[in-house]
């Protein structure tokens, strides 16, 4: 209850501390003076000082009234009450003077007047009021000073209580201030610690974000942004005789690893490759990763071109070493493009672009090699971009056509099947070789759409020939690894067979052995699903990859196709002849049919027949031909 009285019934927040202090002080002073003056007034009346006692009672009533009125105001009106209290005290001094025959109890009313003014309204106002009070006292016509001991003692009671109150208040205020100061100091220390800690955290986060913005997350190598800055820095501060070169390194067929073994294995291969490249360059050279399977090296201060050749050969050799991950052994290779800084070529972007162009040239030259950039490569790269753009619209424009090359039983010279081969008859560039656009289609992912179009077109055509009473045999369709990896590939084949009316036994899928060996288990599952449809399976370009009985005997295949590279120089080339004989022997041991492609001479035909290869495909019998010519050949046979 006392707390409620001192607070005037108000609720103060933490931010209202100063205001709350003023209210407590004012209410405390008025309560103290009211009670003490009531007691003093009572003693005065009892001892015969009636008028002075009544004045004290009036002061008591006034103080209590002010306490009550203060509760009825809104917060913030304590100043007005303090002024009223001071004003009433002054009035009471004058009344006391005139009712006591010019005698003033100075001690009592001085305290009543000055203390609230001093503590509530400020010491400057209090000093002015005290000075005015002294002047008034000095000018009053005081008859005498009462020396009555009892009455004087009464007058000192409020003074004594006020001094005790002020002493207690001052002590508590000092203690509170000390606690507040200590708390404030502790808070400041904690704020400093937290600020320092937060600054360090922010600095670490800033450094982390800066590192992430300029480095590859997988290998922690610099990324493209960081690498370009490094090139620019080297160009800006290089000596006149200092040379700069850029190596653009791209792993060959890396997507096959990701597709076959998963991205976790692919990431490990990337890390191993980064470590191997780092071992092949100097500490001062800069190695960066641009993403995917692309690495870039900045080499400066080399002597001549031969130094770069040595580095490129070391990188190719080092990357080609076997990689052992989770009991699996993998082999990868890389193609490297090299651009050399010239005075007229100062842009980091240009240097990287030229090295990239040279890298693509290395891939076209057979991969696993390096190429230096030359100006004419830019033209080739531009043609490549144009070709890719044109290819995306070629199907809509019906520029692709299917050619057919017969497969012949050389014993009877009869057609037993044919292979569907896609050709691109470009509106402006004319007939484009598959050797140019097929690799590009594989890299861009367009091979899937192209393969499906060839499959559907071939199936529709073979059904038409059978419905005409012709006997075209089996139609061989080439499948890319991307096509086989499509989740809905089997469903797509079923749908095509249904839509075209083609029978499964009329179709044979040719799959390159390198496409299967990367993931034998998955390959076997897919091939079994194909076989379940009734479609035959042939291994294309056999002999150019692993050609191992250990995996071949697991595959559900029907036929091996000897690659043309072994046929060209037989029977004169003994090594090719030996390889061809070995492939035929493997096929016989596994009860597989075997066919040779690229047969162009009678000599080759007779040698193959002698070795036990009865089926032939090549220019000796027929070139690839459009549907109209193929139909005429079938009609004649």
- Residue 463 CA, chain-centre distance (Å), reads 52
Query: Rounded distance, CA 316 to CA 333, Å?
Result: 7
Q: What is the pLDDT of residue 85?
A: 75
Q: What is the pLDDT of residue 143?
A: 47
Say yes or no to pLDDT of 156 above 70. no
Say yes or no to pLDDT of 458 above 80. yes
Fold for 387-636, please state it.
TIM Barrel (3.20.20)
> Are residues 348 and 228 in contact, defined by beta-carbon separation less than 8 angstroms?
yes
Q: What is the pLDDT of residue 105?
A: 54
pTM above 0.85, yes or no: no
With tokens 């006149």, the residue in question is: 240
Candidates 486, 483, 485, 475; CA nearest to 509 is: 475
> Are residues 248 and 354 in contact, defined by beta-carbon separation less than 8 angstroms?
no
Mean predicted lDDT score pLDDT of the chain: 79
- Give whichever of 36-40, 166-170, 566-570, 624-628 has the largest mean pLDDT: 624-628
Residue 220 three-state SS = coil
Fold for 224-374, please state it.
Alpha-Beta Plaits (3.30.70)
Environment class of 284 (CB within 10 Å of its CB; exposed 0-12, middle 13-18, buried 19+): exposed
Helix (DSSP H) and strand (DSSP E) numbers for the chain: 23, 16
Say yes or no to pLDDT of 535 above 90. yes
Q: What percent of the chain has pLDDT over 70?
A: 76
> Are residues 212 and 197 in contact, defined by beta-carbon separation less than 8 angstroms?
no
Say yes or no to pLDDT of 192 above 90. no
> Are residues 401 and 626 in contact, defined by beta-carbon separation less than 8 angstroms?
yes
Every domain of the chain with CATH number 3.30.70.270 lies at 224-374
Q: What is the pLDDT of residue 508?
A: 94
Q: What is the pLDDT of residue 146?
A: 47
Say yes or no to pLDDT of 241 above 80. no
Among the residue ranges 151-155, 172-176, 198-202, 406-410, the one predicted with the least confidence is 151-155
Confidence tier at 147 by pLDDT (50, 70, 90):
very low
Candidates 402, 311, 344; CA nearest to 625 is: 402
Higher-pLDDT residue of 202 and 123 is 202
Candidates 493, 491, 416; CA nearest to 451 is: 493
Every domain of the chain with CATH number 3.20.20.450 lies at 387-636
State the average pLDDT over residues 86-96.
Answer: 71
């Amino acid at each position: 209850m006392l707390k409620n009285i001192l607070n005037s019934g108000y609720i103060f927040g933490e931010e209202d501390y100063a205001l709350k202090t003023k209210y407590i002080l004012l209410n405390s002073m008025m309560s103290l003076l009211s009670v003490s003056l009531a007691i003093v007034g009572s003693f005065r009346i009892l001892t015969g000082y009636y008028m002075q006692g009544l004045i004290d009672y009036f002061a008591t009533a006034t103080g209590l009234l002010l306490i009550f009125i203060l509760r009825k105001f809104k917060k913030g009106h304590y100043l007005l009450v303090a002024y009223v209290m001071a004003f009433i005290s002054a009035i009471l001094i004058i009344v006391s003077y005139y009712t006591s025959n010019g005698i003033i109890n100075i001690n009592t009313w001085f305290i009543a007047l000055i203390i609230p003014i001093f503590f509530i309204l400020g010491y400057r106002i209090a000093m002015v009021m005290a000075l005015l009070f002294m002047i008034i006292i000095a000018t009053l016509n005081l008859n005498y000073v009462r020396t009555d001991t009892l009455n004087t003692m009464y007058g000192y009671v409020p003074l004594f209580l006020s001094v005790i109150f002020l002493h207690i208040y001052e002590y508590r205020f000092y203690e509170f201030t000390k606690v507040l100061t200590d708390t404030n100091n502790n808070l400041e220390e904690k704020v400093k610690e937290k600020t320092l800690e937060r600054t360090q955290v922010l600095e670490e986060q800033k450094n982390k974000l800066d590192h992430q913005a300029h480095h590859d997350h997988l290998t922690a190598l610099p990324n493209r942004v960081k690498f370009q800055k490094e090139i620019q820095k080297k160009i800006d501060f290089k000596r006149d005789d200092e040379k700069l070169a850029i190596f653009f390194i791209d792993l060959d067929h890396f997507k096959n690893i990701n597709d076959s073994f998963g991205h976790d294995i692919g990431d490990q291969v990337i890390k191993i490759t980064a470590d191997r490249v780092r071992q092949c360059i100097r500490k001062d050279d800069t190695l960066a990763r641009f993403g995917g399977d692309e690495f870039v090296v900045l080499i400066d201060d080399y002597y001549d071109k031969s130094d770069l050749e040595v580095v490129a050969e070391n990188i190719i050799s080092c990357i080609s070493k076997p990689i052992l991950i989770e009991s699996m052994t993998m082999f990868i290779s890389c193609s490297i493009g090299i651009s050399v800084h010239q005075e007229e070529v100062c842009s980091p972007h240009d240097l990287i672009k030229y090295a990239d162009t040279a890298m693509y040239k290395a891939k076209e030259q057979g991969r696993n090699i390096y190429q230096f950039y030359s100006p004419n490569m830019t033209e080739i790269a531009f043609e490549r971009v144009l070709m890719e753009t044109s290819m995306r619209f070629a199907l809509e424009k019906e520029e692709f056509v299917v050619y057919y090359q017969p497969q012949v039983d050389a014993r009877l010279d009869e057609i037993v099947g044919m292979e569907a081969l896609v050709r691109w008859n470009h509106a402006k560039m004319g007939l484009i070789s598959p050797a140019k656009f097929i690799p590009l289609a594989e890299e861009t992912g367009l091979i899937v759409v192209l393969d499906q179009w060839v499959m559907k077109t071939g199936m529709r055509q073979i059904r038409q020939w059978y419905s005409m009473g012709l006997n075209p045999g089996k139609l061989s369709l080439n499948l890319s690894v991307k096509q086989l990896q499509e989740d809905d590939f089997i469903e797509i084949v079923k749908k095509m067979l249904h839509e075209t009316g083609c029978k499964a036994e009329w179709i044979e899928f040719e799959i390159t052995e390198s496409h299967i060996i990367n993931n034998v288990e998955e390959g076997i599952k897919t091939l079994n699903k194909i076989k379940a449809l009734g479609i035959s399976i042939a291994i294309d370009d056999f002999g150019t990859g692993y050609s191992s009985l250990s995996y071949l005997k697991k595959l559900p295949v029907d036929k091996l196709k000897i690659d043309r590279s072994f046929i060209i120089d037989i029977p004169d080339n003994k090594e090719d002849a030996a390889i061809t004989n070995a492939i035929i022997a493997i096929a016989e041991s596994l009860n597989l049919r075997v066919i040779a492609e690229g047969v162009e001479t009678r000599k080759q035909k007779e040698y193959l027949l002698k070795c036990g290869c009865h089926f032939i495909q090549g220019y000796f019998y027929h070139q690839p031909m459009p549907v109209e010519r193929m139909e005429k050949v079938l009609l004649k046979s």
